[in-house]
Structure 1
Amino acid sequence: MNEKTEELRNIFTSVTDEETVTESQEDTRGSLEQDERTVEERLEGLVARMRDRYEFETPLSDAELVILAKRFYEDDTDEAIADELGVDEEDVFEGRLAVHLVRDDDADEVDLAAIRSREEDDATLAAEYGVDEGQIRRYRRVAAAVDESRAANDRYRDEFDAILADADLSKRMAKDVREDGLEDATEGMETDVEF
């Protein structure tokens, strides 16, 4: 180093704090999940935030809503979820809608946009669609849940997707890695052995 470079370096180090100029680096393992919390903790936090924001009333606790969400993403029916939780199927339906987990077949017989914009009473719509009034109330509840989710830009549904889909992907990738590693380790070995 020449004299001028040394002088500039000394000036620089005297006026700066080394920690503010450079950030220490650490080796971290790669992960699909950047969040250090468990899937369970992330789901609990999401459900708690939704309950705070929407102040929904459901007989299901936050812990039960977490189980509901997991089972929903495993494509379990409301009946199967209700059996596991020991509650009515209607409670599961209401709990799902409270946390914006709407199934494609929740209102596949009607146009939700049409139901949403209609002001007629349930009896009139039930007669028009050829269903009972309870079904119309159910469709209106689904439409309200879809609207609520859209008003939040489907943020909460996207978070459920990210948490539960990433967890599933991580499990599958870990399983594939274990299987591939075992295949590589046993490649070329004689496996037809008599005892």
Structure 2
Amino acid sequence: MDEKTEELRDLFVDATGSETVTERQSESPGSLVDRDDDAVEERVAELITAMRERYDLDSGLEDTGLDDEAYERVVYGFFAGEDDGWIAADLGEELDDDPDGADSGIDARTVRDARLDLHLVAEADRDAPFEYAALKRLLAADRSVEAAAAELDVDPEVVREFVPVARADLASTRVNDRFRDEFRGLLTDADIEESLATDAREDGLREATEDIETDVSL
């Protein structure tokens, strides 16, 4: 059980005084507690191959200089909460250890580009000084960067910075977030997170209902 899962488990136990749900989740398929790491690694590699075939990532690889193993490292780092700079430094060290990998040139921007290739958009990526949803609508309508900038009343260079992010989100939406969700399901304990979120919603609803019943006079 990793640190994040332990924190979620402790939160549940503190809130309910019971470990029943957590124990049941720990036995469910796909849990990080008993997952087959080899199977996970194989599936992550398969997803990257599928994305390469669908989106022609070969052109992206030429831009980033990253091979499939490096893309896998980006996926694992993203879901481990590592920032782009940290992943870039780690990849750079790995390539520097390779006789053919001198002067890797991998930086945080390279890792960001690779993440977006894989539909892995962080919330911070969407933190634009304009309405991000409007940019997505404009790009979906095939508007140019200049036209979008004019409509958003923002400098084109500012808009251009967020275009790859918006396009990654749009590409993910077109496949119902298939790749993003499967990566997440493989590399996070999404079942426990959803269980805790559901419990919190139900507790809040129950408390609200109790308040209503108390205040109503018959």
Provide the residue aligned with 1:16 in structure 2. Answer: none
- Residues 167/113 of structure 1: CA separation in 2 closer, same or farther (3 Å cut): closer
- In the TM superposition, residue 112 of structure 1 has moved relative to its aligned partner by 2.4
* Runs of 5+ consecutive residues of structure 2 not aligned to the other structure: 1-26, 93-105, 193-218
Once residues 180 and 54 of structure 2 are traced to their aligned partners in structure 1, the CA distance between those partners, rounded to angstroms, is 14
Q: How does 1:1-195 map to 2 (within 5 A)?
A: 32-33=29-30, 37-56=38-57, 57-58=60-61, 59-86=65-92, 87-109=106-128, 110-116=130-136, 117=138, 119=143, 121-122=145-146, 125=149, 128-129=153-154, 133=157, 135-166=158-189
The answer (yes or no) to whether the contact 1:125–1:136 under 8 Å persists in 2 is: yes
Once residues 104 and 46 of structure 1 are traced to their aligned partners in structure 2, the CA distance between those partners, rounded to angstroms, is 22
For the aligned residue pairs, the C-alpha RMSD in angstroms reads 2.9
TM-score by length of 2: 0.55
Structure whose alpha-carbon radius of gyration is higher: 1
Deviations 1:28-52 (A, max 9, x none): xx66249865221111111111111
Provide the residue aligned with 2:103 in structure 1. Answer: none
- Residues 46/122 of structure 1: CA separation in 2 closer, same or farther (3 Å cut): same
Letter in 1 for 2:72: V
* Runs of 5+ consecutive residues of structure 1 not aligned to the other structure: 1-29, 170-195
The answer (yes or no) to whether the contact 1:39–1:167 under 8 Å persists in 2 is: no
Letter in 2 for 1:61: D
> Percent identity over the alignment?
35
Letter in 1 for 2:133: A
TM-score by length of 1: 0.61
